[in-house]
Amino acid sequence: MDTQSSAFSDLETSFDREEVLRDYRLACLSREVSILGRREVLTGKAKFGIFGDGKEVPQVALAHYVRKGDWRAGYYRDQTLIFALDMGT
């Protein structure tokens, strides 16, 4: 008997459909903001820009575990986390 497969067979995983869709929309929005910002830089309308594309999934996941009062150091590519925590300006 394979102990690994039997250990995972009892594990139930469930996802809230609305929460998954909300996370997906947030990641897509963040990616679109990055694309728009990069376009501004590449067309010369902005001098400089660093965006958060490619970091959406871990930041959305982190947002589910950050609680009010938690301390965190800012990261220059954390735009998705800021969006997820509703801290954007």
Domain residue ranges in the chain: 15-84
Contacts of 76 (CB under 8 A, 6+ apart): 50
Q: Which two tokens stand for residue 19?
A: 């929460």
Render pLDDT for 4-19 as a digit per residue (tens, 0 to 9).
555 566 667 788 999 9
Render pLDDT for 29-47 as a digit per residue (tens, 0 to 9).
999 999 999 999 999 999 9
Render pLDDT for 65-85 as a digit per residue (tens, 0 to 9).
999 899 988 888 899 999 999
Q: Which two tokens stand for residue 6?
A: 């039997």
Query: 56 exposed, middle or buried (CB, 10 Å; 0-12, 13-18, 19+)?
Result: buried
Residue 3, φ and ψ in degrees, nearest 5: -70, -30
Confirm if 60 and 27 have CB atoms less than 8 A apart: yes
pTM above 0.75, yes or no: yes
